[in-house]
Structure 1
Amino acid sequence: MPSSQGQGPSAVAGAAPVLTVAVRAAELRGGRRTERQLLSLAVGQGVLSPWLERELASMKPGTLRRWRLGPRERPPILAGHPWLSRNGLIWLEVEVLEARQPSLPGQGPSGCALISQSDVQMLFERWNKALQSDDPEQVARLYSRDAVLLPTLSDEPRTDHDSIVNYFSHFLEKRPHGEISQREILIGCNMLQDAGLYTFRFADGSSAEARYSFIYVFEDGEWKISHHHSSLQPESAD
């Protein structure tokens, strides 16, 4: 069982709550820290490690805890993260932002909205089409209320609607068009992840290859982007 700073685990009773959490990890010896990821998940759906879901179910909103973990105890969302050493110990920080009983509209179990793999692919096409509109507001409306954008061509995190609009007002000047070359889709309860590799091609003939991850949440009856991380592909060493 991972060592914990805080209270011990407790059993999950009754219906599985839907949680919104912020996740961040750091190397134990003071190395690099990962970006802050926002996730919306239902306990028991397998989005995080089972022991961590049980811990989160006992935490109240506003609670921040951290655990010291070995490589095998890391949650799936951190597997192979480029900023963490593969075999070292890490600190995992998780903050519960919101906890509620399942009540969102949907036809799946526990109020989970249903979505197919092909529908997830269409979410990217919706975003890509919005880039062609030359309207940064149209793009920003695809992001959730508490969205975090870590953009491709800026080192400044965008954490509210106005800053997201500001980024796209400059990015759209390049007339970008995105094409996905590799992707992996993970569907949870009212939350999903689409991550992989994509290429942007611009009107001036230039292009940019990047790694990406979109995390979507089901908000107000619509899938919105909660977390968007995009970083340029590192040059391969000879």
Structure 2
Amino acid sequence: ISSIGKDSLEGLQSLVDLDLSRNLISYIPDSISSNTIRYLNLNYNRISYVSNFTFFMLPRLSGLGVVGNRFTTIWRRSIFDANPYLERLDLSDNMWRCDCTDDNMLDFYEFVTLEPNKKEESYNLICNSPLNVIGQTWLEACYFTWNPTEKAGNVDNLVLFIIIMIVGLSMCLVLVNAVRHSMKRRLNSIQIQRERQVEEARDRLRQLRIRAEQEALCNAPDPRDLISPPSYDE
């Protein structure tokens, strides 16, 4: 199927679920009419546009699937003004262009994802352009644009974190230098004490040597006592 007519559903009073998935449909005519249809499955077609009048004449519509189509422009919640029973929207796998500065994008995101009237999971809404947000969810791509105060808070927190890190590193450097100087003074003190002890030991050895020499001199015999008296023959 490549197209459907505006009056295609008229006269089908028992039609509740209509599955038109996996066809070649590229356009849904405005004001397609049915008073009974509740779920319309348009998944995996080639549709790229809907207007405020596309589903205007489907008053009992409660579920709509457009997975895998070619939508790029974010819809408006006014598209479903005439569908008070809408409970489910399947919007994944489309080529959504995420213009986070467009107020309509946030408005439609809240319409689709916020409780208690949640219609789609936020993780199914994926950006396909621009390049810097490809593959991100709508919320990931636009979070700080939609919540600028949190961005400012995050910037302030980042600045505070950097300041704390700088102060902490400075204190660590001061502490390391203080420990290094303390260890250096301690090593110098130990070295001086060791040199003093060595010098004192040398002094004691010199004194002991001098005392030993003096005692040796005092105890040495008189040379005259070593000469024996002349014999009788002499």
Query: The TM-score by the shorter chain falls in which range?
Result: under 0.3
Higher strand share: 1
TM-score, normalized by length of structure 2?
0.19
Higher RCO by CA contacts (8 Å cutoff, separation 6 or greater): 1
Higher gyration radius (CA): 2
